[in-house]
Structure formats: structure tokens, C-alpha cells
A and B are shown apart, each in its own frame.
Chain A
Amino acid sequence: ELKVEQNPLFLSMQEGKNYTIYCNYSTTSDRLYWYRQDPGKSLESLFVLLSNGAVKQEGRLMASLDTKARLSTLHITAAVHDPSATYFCAVGRAGGTSYGKLTFGQGTILTVHP
């Protein structure tokens, strides 16, 4: 059974500083996704990582994937105007018959303080 673990589960950030969320998964997988969820809202896709060594950046966010270590990291540079949000990693396999089945981590709740 595939298991996905994130840490930390809570992150209180200071403006301008850098933080990292770690996402470990238990079995071989070739696809990893990062999503963001604002309170009371749906999931917004941030990154799709499809190969070992993949690195993607968007603004103050950067994600990477190490399939050998079964580890993905999400680096965040905090800004004071960032609202609280929960970040999820999810692991799945595309191709074949499993397009829509993802296993999600527990989520990391981020808050930013001035």
C-alpha cells in the first residue's frame, strides 16, 4: 500500500525567510504533484514532477523530486501577504488505468507572520 508522509504538518513562517516541506512516499512512483488549498476552497495544482531530478519553480515556490530517495521537497520563501494555506503532496501513477487515483499526504498548514 502506498503511503505518503509530509513534514512538518504545521509551519509558522516569518516574512522573507525560506522554508522546506518534505514529502516521503513508500513505494516506487513516477509522478508527484503539489497542491495548495486555501481555507474553505478547493485544491489548486502547483507542480507536476514526472522524473528523477525534476525541478520546477514558480515565483516564491520551488519543487524537486528524487525518485531514488522517494522524496520531494517544496521550498517556500514567505511573504507577509501570503494567506494561510495548506500544501499537499500527492503521488500517483499515470498511464495505464490509474490517471485519477492519487495518494495524498496529510497536508502542511502554513501561516505567515510579519
Chain B
Amino acid sequence: KAGVTQTPRYLIKTRGQQVTLSCSPISGHRSVSWYQQTPGQGLQFLFEYFSETQRNKGNFPGRFSGRQFSNSRSEMNVSTLELGDSALYLCASSPSTDTGELFFGEGSRLTVL
């Protein structure tokens, strides 16, 4: 069974640009969550989607947005990039069973210059 797939794995952008990251969950998983990981702030929850609906949102500015498609694939977008947006962005999927266990992808490492 294929794991969570994130693309691209690495990308470099400049301030003011925007970026779109993609996540394909494990087959059959309907819940997709996004996290930002930085050395200073650690792992922080961005948002969660379930059946194409945003179910939870973390404490991030409106420049961060996401969506989920009918096949459960998800994208997140960051507009007007800032230097502080440099981070590893992790996507996780869940089968939405009672355990709530998340399965993480390899991440997309974004560098903003």
C-alpha cells in the first residue's frame, strides 16, 4: 500500500511569490492534515480537511490556505511568501477510525529567499 505522497519535495521561492504544495493520501483515507515544521516553532497544525471540507484550522494568517478534492488529494497554498515561511511542510492522512492515528508524508521543504 502506497504511503502519503507529497510533491514537490524541495523548492526555492523568493519573497512575495506564492507556492502550491500537493498531497496524495493513503488510498481510502479521507482525512488530510497539514503541518508546518520549523526549528524555532516545532510542529504546528495548519489545517485539516475531510470530505472536501475544512474541519479545523490552526493559528496561521490568511496567506495560508488549502483545499481537498473529491479523490481526497489535497493542496495547500501560501501567497505573498515571507522569509519566515521557510519550513518543512508535512501532510498527514488518517483513516478516520477511533485511533485517530496520522500517517505522514516525506514533506515538502520550502526555502524562501
B101 and A45 form a contact (CB under 8 A): yes
Number of chain A residues close to chain B: CB under 8 A: 27
B64 CB–A CB distance under 8 Å: no
A50 and B99 form a contact (CB under 8 A): yes
Q: How far is the CB of A54 from chain B (nearest CB, A)?
A: 12
Most chain B CB atoms below 10 A, which of A42, A50, A100: A100
B72 CB–A CB distance under 8 Å: no
Number of chain B residues close to chain A: CB under 8 A: 27
Q: How far is the CB of A89 from chain B (nearest CB, A)?
A: 11
A99 and B42 form a contact (CB under 8 A): no
Classify the interface of chain B: helix, strand, loop or mixed: strand
Chain A 79-114, CB-CB to B under 8 Å as 1, else 0, gives: 000000000101011110111111111110000000
For B85, what are the chain A residues with a Cβ–Cβ distance below 8 Å? none
B100 and A92 form a contact (CB under 8 A): yes
B101 and A100 form a contact (CB under 8 A): no
A42 and B31 form a contact (CB under 8 A): no
Extra contacts besides A35-B104, A99-B94, A100-B32 (9): CB < 8 Å = A31-B99, A50-B99, A88-B43, A90-B43, A94-B97, A95-B98, A99-B96, A100-B45, A101-B33
For B56, what are the chain A residues with a Cβ–Cβ distance below 8 Å? 97-98, 100-101
